[in-house]
């Protein structure tokens, strides 16, 4: 009798996913409403752009031309040209702080081309913080494709930075008016 009960319980346990599986799967395949974008991002007028650094994980030549502040300088210029926010000189004058950081991680040496070349993963990281509470409201990471030639690395840098700016525009909305000088 105990043997038959165990077999019945086992069969029932195996049949449950078949009976309720489609219902569960349908629940996960339903499109969900997107979570709201924090109101501070949508209502802010003034932004301070912070330089989170241009780090590399090795002590060799830079991966990109333009120096360690290139990501900051170009992101600042893109935010100014966008015109969505007024850029201010201090965090105290801002509603939001946008911190940009470029990190280049060395992945391997001498395995890509059979020489001393270095494969890397370059990541742009943008963190949006409330200037008053310092709470992180949003974060973005964009990878720049690796390349052997300097000109291609620089082109990939530009493409990754453009993707970051496009994502910022998608999140925060279009410019309210012309850029302020």
Q: For the domain made up of 39-172, give the CATH fold.
A: Rossmann fold (3.40.50)
- Comparing 33-47, 51-65, 104-118, 119-133, the range with the smallest average pLDDT is 104-118
With a cut of 50, say whether residue 66 has pLDDT above it: yes
- For residue 173, the cross-strand partners are none
Q: Is the distance from CB of 58 to CB of 106 less than 8 angstroms?
A: yes
Among 10-14, 39-43, 51-55, 68-72, name the one with the lowest average pLDDT. 10-14
For residue range 151-170, list pLDDT tens digits in order: 888 998 899 999 999 999 99
- CA 97-58-161 angle, to 5 degrees, is 40
pLDDT tens digit sequence for 76-134: 999 999 999 999 999 999 999 999 998 877 665 555 555 555 567 788 999 999 999 99
């Amino acid at each position: 009798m105990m043997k038959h009960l165990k077999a019945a319980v086992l069969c029932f346990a195996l049949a449950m996913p078949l009976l309720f599986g489609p219902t569960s799967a349908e629940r996960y395949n339903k499109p969900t409403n997107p979570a709201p974008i924090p109101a501070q991002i949508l209502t802010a007028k003034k932004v301070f752009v912070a330089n989170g650094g241009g780090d590399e994980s090795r002590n060799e030549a830079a991966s990109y031309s333009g120096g360690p502040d290139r990501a900051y300088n170009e992101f600042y210029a893109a935010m100014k040209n966008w015109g969505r926010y007024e850029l201010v000189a201090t965090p105290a004058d801002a509603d939001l702080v946008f911190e940009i950081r470029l990190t280049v991680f060395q992945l391997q040496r001498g395995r890509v081309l059979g020489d001393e070349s270095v494969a890397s993963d370059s990541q742009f990281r943008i963190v949006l913080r409330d200037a008053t509470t310092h709470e992180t409201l949003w974060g973005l990471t964009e990878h720049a494709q690796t390349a052997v030639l300097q000109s291609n690395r620089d082109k990939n840098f530009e493409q990754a930075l453009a993707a970051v700016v496009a994502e910022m525009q998608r999140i925060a909305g279009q410019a309210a008016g012309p850029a302020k000088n």
